[in-house]
Amino acid sequence: MARITVEDCLEHVENRFQLVTLAAERAHQFYLYNARPQVDPENDKPTVIALREIASGMKVGGILDDLAEGDSAGEADVDSPDGNESPAE
């Protein structure tokens, strides 16, 4: 069982937040959809398998694209609590 470091994974993603989000989503795929790991599982837990996939540079099912689409779709204008728009200064 090889040791996985954040630095190994950050070579393939932009930042730590994206790394955590990507690894969590990929591990979730193992549980919900019985996704097949793209690396040898070696009796590792799903999160470790996901990190090993990321560190090896494998594409993990377009997860980042799906997450980016979800983020932009969820953005909305924010009004003040009383329902009025905030005055521009």
- How large is the average pLDDT for residues 29-52? 93
pLDDT tens-digit profile of 41-75? Answer: 999 999 999 999 999 998 865 776 676 676 655 54
- Domains of the chain, by residue range, sit at 6-67
Task: Please state, rounded to an integer, the average pLDDT across all residues of the chain.
Answer: 80
CATH superfamily entry for domain 6-67: RNA polymerase subunit, RPB6/omega (3.90.940.10)
What is the spatial distance between Cα 88 and Cα 9, in angstroms, rounded to a whole number? Answer: 42
What is the spatial distance between Cα 33 and Cα 4, in angstroms, rounded to a whole number? Answer: 24
- Are the CB atoms for 54 and 16 separated by under 8 Å? no
What pLDDT score does 3 carry? 84
